[in-house]
Amino acid sequence: MKSRINPNENNASAELNQLVHLLAQQSAVLQIYHFASLGRAEKLKSVFSDKHKLVKRVYYLFVVTECDTRPSLQLLVEEQNFPFMVMVSQQSYAELQKPQLVSNGFLAKVFNTAKLLYTVTDVEAAQVFRQPNPKKALAKAIVHWRNRTTMATGFMVAAEQAVEHGHERVALFLMHHATEQLCAGMLYVFTGQQLAEKRLHRLIYRCACFSTQPLQHLLGCSENEMLIQLLEKSIQMDRVNEVFDLGDRSIYRFLELIESFMVLAKTLCENNFRERQLELDEKQVQEKCMEASTHDGMSSDPTQE
């Protein structure tokens, strides 16, 4: 039997150790990395506002598995009803060995900087991951984001048309897809991660590993939480003609929420692109200065005369 160790057990919280213990019991689990946390906050209770902050801590884990696991480890931890939330990303060892992943920015960050919580002692690194070329990575991120926003915009245009024709459930279905595209696009822009995640609630929480603004915008008050739940319900219903009751909520409130979220998402990504381009420009200037300095030094060297 393979021996297993938790190298950071004494430095991890009791909650993390509880998670590691649960996941380590799964025979397919080889390694567990902790790459982000979202802290606990007090809930605001006021007669003047229904806004509230997060009341649960959120842990972000990356798990290396021996093979593909079904059901997913994400479902496993959700079934435990922990007093905290967990976002699990997982990939099989064989998948991680693929040559095209060697310059994957997300994996490079996880394997080179995240905290290793658990490992099978005899497991070897799948490969050495490195950060992609910054210029190429920025170009790919811009193209990826443009494609995502094009799809999201198309869904929103179709949603508005559906509202005009009285097809509210269809409009909700389309708005769900628009929000999904925006969240998935932001995840790639900020982390380099591409997920096959379809649950909107999870996608929103996954985005919080790089910025809490999407989470605050979509789930920052009880009314918005209910709107997102209804969006998720719209896509889970089996029959097109199944009765869907919005209660006293106007369909235009959904449009307002998702349209404003699109503005936020675009702003966040455009700022990200701008900052990355500035870093590239500054690096280019520094390299030119170094080249000029080296050239001047060689010119003044008497041994070169």
- pTM for the whole structure: 0.87
DSSP result, 93-145: HHHHT-GGGTT-HHHHHHHHHSEEEEEETTPPPS----PPPHHHHHHHHHHHH
The CATH 1.20.120.330 portion of the chain extends over: 134-280
CATH assignment of 134-280, among 3.30.40.230, 1.20.120.330, 3.30.70.1560, 2.60.120.10: 1.20.120.330
Q: Give the pLDDT confidence score for residue 289 in this predicted structure.
A: 80
Q: Which CATH class is domain 3-120?
A: alpha beta
Q: Which residues, including other chains, have CB under 8 Å from residue 279's CB and lie 6 or more apart?
A: 134
Average pLDDT over residues 222-228: 92
CA–CA–CA angle 179, 106, 6 (5° rounding):
115
CATH code 3.30.460 region(s) in the chain: 3-120
What pLDDT digit, counting tens, does each position of 89-125 carry? 999 999 999 999 999 999 999 999 999 999 998 888 8
E strand map for the chain: 4-5, 29-38, 58-65, 85-92, 115-120
Q: Grade residue 53 by pLDDT with cuts at 50, 70 and 90.
A: low
pLDDT confidence tier of residue 1, bands split at 50, 70 and 90? very low
How many other C-beta atoms are found inside a 10 Å radius of the C-beta of residue 1? 3
Residue 141 pLDDT:
98
Instruction: Report the pLDDT value the prediction gives residue 60, as an integer from 0 to 100.
Output: 96
The overall average pLDDT reported for the chain is: 87
